[in-house]
Structure 1
């Protein structure tokens, strides 16, 4: 690509970014109602009214950005079979780094066989909320196994990981309370805090001292305080000093919630997550949250904790009481994956070795991997949304599937490719990917 063409693309990207920022701000702002709109609404088609919404303008501008920059969308590609360390798209096999099956259980023969048996026994759906008519033995078996893993009184499984955070925070906290979270916390945590009506504040990423100083100033203004952090951050691949965060929580009399969506099966010698990695007793964390769609090869989320907590959620959380129960076959899949994880710690060791390999080789090649610790998630920061999309498509042409992350999901200067490493990746696949990246970046690899 010539210098002139590259400059043209950069200018076009900046112009579209400004438009997207305005559309995003308009979508977020409540705005005053226009009394004339109701009077003329019947004269405008529903399609036109949807198209006029600022949310649709966001989508339109994102599509326009790709078209103007001549970058094919890397999203919503159709995988034709089991997506693991490799996958098949449009009849071609790719090395796959866009996959959360960290220990390779999504497609594992043992997990698949038990899932099929559960379908034969229970059918395909719980068909109703568990509190009404949807309970199956496998639900409680999974919850008991997770409670045992976390050394807690009990556990409750939800049908969606995102909904777990939203409904749990919304149920437990409200006006007069404070939810304080890491600045890079997942959208589900932000949405839960927003819906709860509690005051929401953030602190600098992984900065327990900033949290301590914040709570020292404001703790006395609130009834209950929830501190929400993650076990492994899926954008950056780093993790907090859990010991320090527990100390801050205890000093200020708050509740600590740890989202282990990406750390269960990844951190710790046997995959028990951040508490094993940091040597912290389970009871020092009040709400252990996790998902079943990654290491546990199923779908849904869970909360593990003391009995009063789980009892409240079981009877009062709308995302549980008014939602269909987790499909029994998916509960069985996650139960099987959990049992296999505990029986085969060598998978965890292999995953961690592969992650270290990727991080070491990428840094040796001069690639910017940010603050990643090399546990399953390694970003390669491009510094430009255009470059992230172009690199993703170039790698795809070379038979490597990886997803770009760009504005507004991250700041423009933090645009990146995000590599998810699994225990099933072979060392040569990792080396191949790093060499291809280095070529794109104009780096020499020895």
Structure 2
């Protein structure tokens, strides 16, 4: 069952050629950060193209609860009247972050060095996810956390009254952990240093610099070292949110595997810390061209033109995982319809996402007739070629939006329809997924039970 209401069973059937333009929503990562940093600036930040999915709307509600004025101006345009670094008020109610691991971890970081207390919860999926990876470094600033066993929500964070700056080496590649530490460092005196051994998405660093924070990045023997000077006065910004490459992955991959398809996806972020999937697809033989490259809101973007392609299995470089960690479920679908074997290693982070995504994809693909191998840190898909996947199964979404969408894409090119037990979580990140795919020609229906 979805944590946001009644389950919505869905079925996807074999589609004719997909055609047209897919205007996918704004980037989820940048949308979260725009609201949070807008709330920590002094004055009005204007945001256009904000993703209006449930995850981001929950972050907007949270910023209101901490005292910022957040207004929906219509057509994806939002206004945030910030209250400054260190200006958060103590919320009167529990902060419900719904399904969003990004939202809750970043907000915890933002409030952890302020002398306030806040309690966080989420839906059934989020409340199973570990928070220790964030609360451990926040404790070094002086914050205290009290949650359920295993460091899980609901959890109360008591912010540090006299925070101290920290030097923190991120133990696993995680943009959420890195960003939480940087946001906490904003209200700590002196310099907070974060070191990551493998580069992860850098939206927080880019946006902090855009808001006027003093931040530098250097490559050292330890890794990528980010130094932030605390207690700045952040200046409000005008932010144009580029389209989300993680959401774009679904229509892009659908067009690749449905014979005769050709679509365009305008204005997709080409941030090099986010485009690992597209590099991988091209290596597999995908016909994708990147047109009209430009910069919007401090982020590189391009228009994608995608044509149906015969793809081949490859071994995905392990060091590419941080730049495409959310895209492995849909890559597994393309792999199933490719010739040969696709090997994905270095992906144990998928086991602590909205669900255990390695297990969810493995079990669903097996049910659809695909041979899978897996271990704790890898997934190997033995492809059956275009049109070779039998399908015909009902797969569990496990309250995970990306798992649900991945199996809906699989159904578009399988011999028999593919169903999911609950497509409701799709609304957390891609609320227009169904009408957008239908306009391209996909056959997706909601099943009445």
TM-score tier (shorter): under 0.3
State TM-score, norm by structure 1.
0.26
Flag the structure with larger Rg: 1
TM norm structure 2: 0.26
Higher normalized helix content (fraction of residues) = 1
